[in-house]
Amino acid sequence: MSASFRPDIEGLRALAVSGVVAFHFGLSDLPGGFTGVDIFFVISGYLITGQLLREIAEDGRLDLWRFYARRARRLLPASLFVIFATLVAGYFILSPDEQSLYSKGAMYASAYAINFWLIRWSFDYFAPDAANNPFIHFWSLSVEEQFYLVWPGLLLLAAWLRPGKRTAILVIGLTGAVSFAVCAWLTTVAQPWAFYFSPLRAWEFAAGGLATMAPAKFWRERPQLGVALAWLGLALIAGAYLTFSEGDTPFPGVAAVVPVAGTVLLLLSGSGNVQRGPSAMLALPPLQWVGKLSYSLYLWHWPVIVYTTMMVPDLSWPGRLACAALTLALSIFTYNFIENPIRRNGWLMANAARALIPAAMLTGAGVMATYANARLAVDDLDPSQRIIAETAAQPSTARAKVGCVLDYETVTPKPCEFGAKNAERSIALFGDSHADHWSTPLIEAAKKNDYKVVTWLKAACRASRLTVWSSKLKRDYTECDQWREQSIKEIIALRPSLVVISEISLTGSRKLSPDAQQSDSLNQDWQAGLRATLEAFSQAGLKVAFIRDVPFNSMFVDTCVARALWRGQTPSVCDAPRTDAANDAMAAVERDIVRAVPNATYIDMTDRFCDAKTCHVFIDGKLAYRDRHHMATPFAQTLEPPVERALFSTGAAEK
């Protein structure tokens, strides 16, 4: 063991990985355990900056090849082993289409670039379920690797400008300040960029880097101050673990200062080698043991819990403990037989080339193998699997026309016209993606009756005048409010024969984002908002038809059905009780609001999906949903006759 070994840092690693694992395993008492990743970032910044600055000070230069060889020996073998093992396990658990999709994630993870893939994924409202991606946790390793590529050059720049600690502090501090400012701003504007983009996490590494330049002598001479600050640091980390939550806390942004500052204080206190208070606690043998396993634990915990919950959706606490035991066993094996032996291998340590050449070959092999697996998984699909994949991928009539369903950031309405050409009469379709999936049968019915359909559609933006919290943006969805008001004005100015509204139900949005901020008065606010939108059209002399939302499923229906067929089961295993999926009680409240508004009609097609007890996902040989809560377009096409009867045979669309 190196003389410079810091047992308190090993204990900090244990604290960090324990928080992350507890959070992902569903320990609700630690809703902020995800901030353990930020602890890792600060530790990396502290250790790597100290190591590089010492080498610059002693040798006047950096041996970058030797530095990258150490990183490759430390990180690459274990990560590739876990990636390949996860892919092999996925063959028996995932449907072919999922295998193909997640193999692409494995490809980016192998190249330490999955964070860029996830940024794009995060802004796609119709992206597959991120919670089922067994490689999503590699984002933090990608950020670290990208840090290792850039940071040595930054320190060399500081030394070239003017050798000495002051210049290094200035360069690191300036880099950190700019990174933090942009990160804090983007957290409120485009949170996925702030979360996944490595330059916007640089301030956390910089905080650790600045801490390494604080004189250890200062802390050795002031042990009581060090202990006091260490207790404060531990309290900050505990506060983040206990009070932050993924849904309620805009993160990283300003909130990330709490765990980052706590880690910095603990690192500073421990630099004085004062084995008292928190430093002594972090040096306890159990924490040292977990700290040594922390890298392998981090790699294994996510695919274990993801695959297990796929097979056992209602996983009990004994089941979660069994997952923890399996994670521990796999981590011990990986640490003792892959991670540590390769890291300490004398032949590989002899010179940089011996480590870097095999590392480059392994990385290339990993990228090629995962890419090949992505292609092979769907190369010869069973016809039933191909139909499911094609059905889920088929866009609605409105969404097939580029730009007709607006993204999160756009606030200026973009109406799109469909249906009978040169028709004098029009119907306005207004709402979120749950209005959009009705565009397919509505537009076809309108054509038959010589109407055109003009759409005002925006992702995740309900028609009801209600400010909602966006789980994607991690803030109030103000762009929705601006778009909605302008759209209402434009629709009234158009004077259509009928305004058709549909939106995700309140219970559906709660299921979609169970951790999102929910006010105690949300039910009343929603009722008032729905009434206000309906009355705006009614008072303008327009007829309104409100279509009840479709049932909401607990799982992604396309993947559930595909997995069922892959395992030789029937699609009915994915059906849900009507009491869970439809929520008739909330719909009754909605119906009463609509019927109380003059010129407003309530249309309920739930019986097309559900019988008295069960809501079905495979109806008349067709997949009913493309995900958890959006109709599959081929099934939506079968609803054209009832939509036509509801809107045209009853006279709802007539002036």
Question: What sign does the dihedral 357-360-364-370 (CA atoms) show?
Answer: positive
Mean pLDDT by 10 residues, the chain (655 residues): 77 96 89 96 96 88 90 93 96 91 93 92 69 91 95 91 88 96 92 94 96 83 86 96 88 95 93 76 95 97 95 89 96 96 87 90 92 88 87 94 92 94 92 97 95 96 91 84 98 97 89 61 88 97 97 92 91 94 92 96 96 95 94 97 90 58
If DSSP codes are grouped into helix, strand and coil, which group holds residue 318? helix
CB 315 within 8 A of CB 142: no
**How open is the CA angle 216-221-223, to the nearest 5 degrees?**
95
pLDDT of residue 350: 83
Report CA-CA distances (Å) from 305 to 31, 96, 361, 512.
17, 20, 30, 20
What is the pTM (predicted TM-score) of this model? Answer: 0.87
pLDDT of residue 102: 92
Q: Where in the chain is the domain with CATH 3.40.50?
A: 395-550+581-610+639-648
How many Å apart are CA 283 and CA 50, to the nearest integer? 21
pLDDT of residue 573: 93
Strand partners of residue 456: 430
Which is nearest to 603 in space by CA: 546, 544, 527, 542?
546
How many Å apart are CA 172 and CA 384, to the nearest integer? 56
Q: What's the Rg (C-alpha) of the chain? A: 28
Beta-carbon-side half-sphere exposure of residue 517 (alpha carbons within 13 Å): 14
Peptide bond preceding 641 in cis form (omega within 30 of 0)? no
pLDDT of residue 313: 83
Task: Spell out the residues 6+ positions from residue 377 whose beta carbon is closer than 8 angstroms to its own.
Answer: 96, 97, 99, 100, 103
Report the Cα–Cα distance between both ends of the chain, in Å, rounded.
Answer: 85
How many Å apart are CA 222 and CA 160, to the nearest integer? 34
Report CA-CA distances (Å) from 100 to 95, 132, 376, 555, 583.
9, 13, 8, 19, 35
pLDDT of residue 46: 96
pLDDT of residue 514: 62
Phi and psi torsions of 419, nearest 5°? 95, -155
DSSP state of 126: T
The reply to whether CATH 3.40.1620 applies to domain 395-550+581-610+639-648 is no
CB 192 within 8 A of CB 119: yes
How many Å apart are CA 577 and CA 125, to the nearest integer? 26
How many Å apart are CA 384 and CA 175, to the nearest integer? 53
